Amino acid sequence: MSSVPVPLAQAGALSSPDMAWMLISCALVLLMVPGVALFYAGMVRSKNALNTIMMCFGGAAVACVVWCFAGYSFAFGGEGRWFGGLQHLGLAGVDLAAEGSIPHLLFAVFQATFAMVAAGCVAGAVVERMRFGAFVTFIALWTLLIYAPICHWVWGGGWLAELGALDFAGGTVVHINAGITAAVIAWVLGPRKDFGRQALLPHSVPTVLLGSGLLWFGWLGFNGGSALAANETAALAVANTVLAPCASIIVWMLLDARRHGQVTAIGAATAIVVGLVAVTPAAGFVSPMAALLIGGLSAVPSYFALLWRTRTRLDDSLDVLSAHGLGGAAGALLTGVFATAAWGGASSLIEGDLRQFAVQLLGIVVAAVYSGAVAFLIAKGIGLVLRLRVDARDEATGLDVTAHGEKAYADGEGALLIDTPLPSMMADTPSFKLATAPTHGDVG
C-alpha cells in the first residue's frame, strides 16, 4: 500500500483479476505465519521448539481476533489524524460491497494477516523464557494500542500520511514497530538464565532455512498484494521482492567470509529476512536496480548490529531488533533516497529532494519512540497482574513440556502428552525424569 490505501476511499466496480490477486496475496501472507514460526523454531534449543511455534501461532490468532473486533476500526474506521474511529467495531459495515476494485471485507482480512505476521515477529525476542499466557495477553493489547494506531498514522489517513510518508507494505507499520517492541519487552523480561554462560545454538539449521524460504515466498503477497490490484505496481513490488534479498545474501556472505573465513547458512537465512524487510517500504516506489542497492546496503547495519547485541546484556533471543527493527529503519530511510515518481513513488534524495528523506526519518523516530514507550507500559502493566517469566526450573526443563505437555522430537513411542497441569515440582519424580530424558535431538 502507499501511505494511504486510496482504493478504500472511493467506491467502484469489483474487478475479478484484482480480487483473484488479492485472494492469492491473502493466502501468501498467511503462509508467512508458519514461515516465521519455523524460522524461529529452528534457532532455539529443541526443548523449546514447539513453544516457539505456538508463540507465533497463538500470537497471530489473538492479533487476528482483536483486529476484527476493534483493531481494524482503530486503524481504518475514520479520518482522524491520530486515531481511526469506532465505526467498524466488530467489522460493522465491512461487507462485500466494492471499495475500489475489491470487496471491503477482502481488504480488512488482508490487513488482518499483516497484524498476524507482526505478532509472530515479536515472539522472536522473548522465546525460551516468557509465559505463554502473558505473551498472548501482551499481543492483544499491543495490537490495539500500538499496531493499530501506527497503521492509521501511515495507511489510514493519519498525520504521517498527510506529511507524505512512504511505506509501501509495512517497513514502519510492521517491522520497525515489531523490532522496537521486541527489544523493549526482552529488556523488561531480562536475559535467559544461560545467556552469556553457554552457547545457545540453533538445534535445526535446515528448519531455519525452510522458514526463510517460506517467508520469501509469502512475502511476494505481502509486498505484491499491497498494490491492492493486479497491476503494474504489483508487478514492480514482486520483482523488487525477488531481487533485494539476493543482494542481501551476497553482502552477508562476503561479511561472513571476511570475518571468519566461512559462509554460514544461518547468516544466509537471516540475510533473506533482512533484505525482505528492507525492501518492504520501498517495493512499489523504486526501480529494480534501487531495490538491489537497498537489499545490499541494508545488510551491513543489521550484520554489525547483530554482532554488537551479542556483547550486551540485551537478550533479544533471535535478533528481532537487528533484522526487523534496523532492517525496517534502513529500508524506510533508503526509500527516502531512491524513491522516484517515475516508479510510483515521490521525488526523493536521489532527485535532489531532501524533504522526503526528512519525512521518512521523522516517521522512523516517532514510530520507534511511541512503540517502545507504550510497549514498556503494557509489559509493566501485565506484570502487575500476571507473571511474565517462567520459573527457573521450567526454563531448564524446556517450555515444550512445561507449557504445552508435548515434545517436538521423540524416540520410539511418540510425543509426550500431558492432560493435567504440570507443576514444576513433578520434575523431581522418577516418572517425569524418564519421560523427559534428553534424546539425541536435544541441544541444551
Q: Is 440 within a domain?
A: no
Model-level pTM? 0.90
Q: Kindly state the average pLDDT of the residues 110-117.
A: 98
Res 150 pLDDT > 60: yes
pLDDT, residue 308, reads: 94
Q: For residue 133, is pLDDT > 90? A: yes
pLDDT for 422 beyond 70: no
Task: Give the position of cell 492509521.
Answer: 152
Does 184 fall in a domain?
yes
Q: Which residues are within 8 A (CB) of 206 and not within 5 positions of it... i.e. 6 or more apart?
A: 42
Burial grade of 23 (CB within 10 A; 0-12, 13-18, 19 or more)? middle
Quick check: 283 pLDDT over 60?
A: yes
Assess whether 16 and 81 both reside in one domain. yes
pLDDT recorded at residue 417: 58
User: Does residue 200 carry a pLDDT above 90?
Assistant: no
Average pLDDT for residues 13-38, to the nearest whole number?
A: 97
Task: Give the integer Cα–Cα distance in Å for 107 and 128.
Answer: 35
Q: What is the spatial distance between Cα 371 and Cα 163, in angstroms, rounded to a whole number? A: 20
pLDDT at 197: 79
Q: What's the rounded Cα separation, in Å, for the pair 155 and 9?
A: 12
- Is 293 a residue whose pLDDT tops 60? yes
* Cβ partners under 8 Å of residue 172, min gap 6: 150, 154, 160, 165, 281, 328, 332, 363, 364, 367
- CATH number, domain with residue 267: 1.10.3430.10
Residue 331 sits at φ, ψ, to 5 deg, of: -65, -40
Residue 102 sits at φ, ψ, to 5 deg, of -130, 160
Closest CA to 401 of 379, 433, 376: 433
Residue-by-residue DSSP string for 303-358: HHHHHHHTTSS---TT-HIIIIIIHHHHHHHHHHHH--GGGTS---GGGT-HHHHH
Is the distance from CB of 251 to CB of 296 less than 8 angstroms?
yes
CA distance 217 to 361: 29
89 in a structural domain: yes
At a CB cut-off of 8 Å and minimum separation 6, what does 34 contact?
A: 56, 57, 211, 214
Residue 172 or 317, more confident: 172
Give yes or no: residues 346 and 421 share one domain: no
Percent of the chain with pLDDT over 70: 90
> How distant, in Å, are the alpha carbons of 13, 24, 110, 408 from that of 17?
12, 11, 16, 42
Confidence of residue 425 (pLDDT cuts 50, 70, 90): very low
What total number of domains does the chain contain?
A: 2
- In this prediction, residues 140-157 reach a mean pLDDT of 97
Q: And the C-alpha cell for 30? A: 498467511
Residue 30: inside a domain: yes
pLDDT at 411: 64
Domain presence at residue 1: no
User: Do 244 and 224 belong together in one domain?
Assistant: yes
Q: Kind and range of the H or E element at 37?
A: helix 16-43
Compute the average pLDDT of residues 252-272.
95
Q: 270 and 415 in one domain? A: no
Query: Taking a C-beta distance cutoff of 8 angstroms, is the pair 219, 155 a contact?
Result: no
Residue 265 has a CB neighbour count (10 Å cut-off) of 13
Q: End of a domain among 362, 383, 404? A: 383
Domain that holds residue 338: 6-383
273 with 352, same domain: the answer is yes
pLDDT at 437 over 70: no
Q: What is the mean pLDDT of residues 180-208?
A: 92
Instruction: Give the mean model confidence (pLDDT) for residues 9-30.
Output: 89
Q: Which three cell numbers stand for residue 267?
A: 547468516
Residues 180 and 276 in one domain: yes
296 and 397 co-located in one domain: no
SS3 content of the chain, % helix, strand, coil (to 5): 70, 0, 30
- In a shared domain, residues 360 and 409: no
Rounded distance between C-alpha atoms, residue 390 and residue 412, angstroms: 29
| In the predicted structure, residue 424 carries a pLDDT above the cut 50 | no
pLDDT digits (tens, 9 = 90+) for 299-325: 999 999 999 998 898 999 899 999 999
Residue 323 and residue 426 share a domain: no
| 396/339 same-domain check | no
What pLDDT does residue 3 have? 46
CA distance 198 to 71: 41
Does one domain contain both 19 and 62? yes
- For residues 135 and 121, give the distance between their C-alpha atoms in angstroms, rounded to a whole number: 12
- 443 assigned to some structural domain: no
In tens, the pLDDT along 352-404 reads: 889 999 999 999 999 999 999 999 999 999 999 999 999 999 999 999 999 99
Q: Which residue has the cell 516418572?
A: 431
For residue 222, tell me if it sits in a domain. yes
Q: Report which of residues 441 and 111 the model is more confident about.
A: 111
Mark whether 172 and 292 lie in a shared domain: yes
Cell (9 digits) for 350: 536521489
Of the pLDDT bands very low, low, confident and very high (cuts 50, 70, 90), residue 4 is very low
**Average pLDDT of the residues in 270-284:** 98
Alpha helices in 190-287 (DSSP H): 205-224, 232-260, 265-279
**CA end-to-end distance (rounded Å), the chain:** 43
Residue 117 domain-assigned (yes or no): yes
The CA distances from residue 72 to 53, 104, 280, 390, in Å, are 25, 12, 21, 32
Share of the chain above pLDDT 90, in %: 84
pLDDT score of 433 more than 80:
no
Domain boundary among 361, 383, 405: 383
Q: Is residue 141's pLDDT more than 60?
A: yes
Query: In this predicted model, what pLDDT tens digit does every residue of 219-249 receive, in sequence order?
Result: 999 999 999 999 999 999 999 999 999 999 9
